[in-house]
Every structure is written in C-alpha cells, then in structure tokens.
Homo-oligomer: A and B are copies of this chain.
Amino acid sequence: MADSYGLAVRAIVRDEKGRVLLLRRSTANRTNAGLWEFPGGKVEPGEFFENALERELVEECGLQVRLVGVAGAVQTEASDVHVVQLVMKAEVSGGEPRLSHEHDRFEWFEPDRLPVETMIPEFRQFAEELAAGGG
C-alpha cells in the first residue's frame, strides 16, 4: 500500500431549488467509469484548496460556486497514493453547465433522490446525509 497522501477537494453543489449536482464518470476514466460523483479534483502542488475547487468546477462543469461550509472528508485510493477527499458545501453563483471529457452526464438531483447505488462508494455517506435532510 502507498505511504503518501494527496489532497482533493469536492463540492456538494446546490442550485437555487436546493437540488444537488452530480457528474457521471465517462469511459475515459480508468476507474469508476459509469459511477456518479460530486464535481472537484486534485489540489495541485502549491495551490490553495479553494482555488483548486474553483478551477476544477469551471473545468469539469462550467460553473462558479460560493462555498457555504464543510461537509466532511473521506479517503479514496489511487494506484500510488491515498487521496484525502475534502468535501465542501456550495451554492451555484454563475456559469453555464457543460461537460469535460471526464464525464458523460450532468444532472441535478433532489437531495432525497440521489442515485446512491451508482455513486462512487466513498461518497455514498454524503448522499445518505443529504437524503436524511443534512448537508
């Protein structure tokens, strides 16, 4: 098992109706293709986590967001590194939805209707909290 850690940051993004954004991983991904995830990604060396999230959201889904708090953190495993996934809460503040090659679908879900069974396993706990009225 890897000994080193990387940091990634994700956002539970809500629209003005309170719906939650998920992206579905395309077959361009070596792992978890076909599974839904919260937008976000790796924090690059020297990059501040808030800027990393802002950059990833524009790249992955064309949206600007406003952070509203912390949802939690979980660990995922990449081939050579443990990844700490810091999950923030956010609201859309601008932009027009669009996809990168990493995803093949973009959808806003009611918080109690997230597709838990087809989400990346490590993120399911957040879906369950959202369904229970948390998050």
List chain B residues, Cβ under 8 A from A49. Answer: 5, 7, 84
Number of interface residues of A (CB under 8 A): 21
In the complex, whether A33 has a CB less than 8 A from a CB of chain B is: no
Is the CB–CB distance between A5 and B50 below 8 Å?
yes
Q: Which residue of chain B is the closest to A88 with respect to CB atoms?
A: B84
Is the CB–CB distance between A70 and B69 below 8 Å?
no
List chain B residues, Cβ under 8 A from A75. Answer: 69-70
In the complex where A84-B86, A86-B84 touch, is A4 in contact with B69 (Cβ < 8 A)? Answer: no
List chain B residues, Cβ under 8 A from A121. Answer: none
List chain B residues, Cβ under 8 A from A72. Answer: 72-73
**22 residue pairs A–B, Cβ–Cβ below 8 Å:** A4-B50, A5-B49, A5-B50, A5-B67, A7-B48, A7-B49, A45-B48, A46-B46, A49-B84, A67-B82, A69-B82, A70-B75, A70-B84, A71-B73, A72-B72, A72-B73, A73-B73, A73-B86, A73-B87, A84-B86, A84-B88, A86-B86
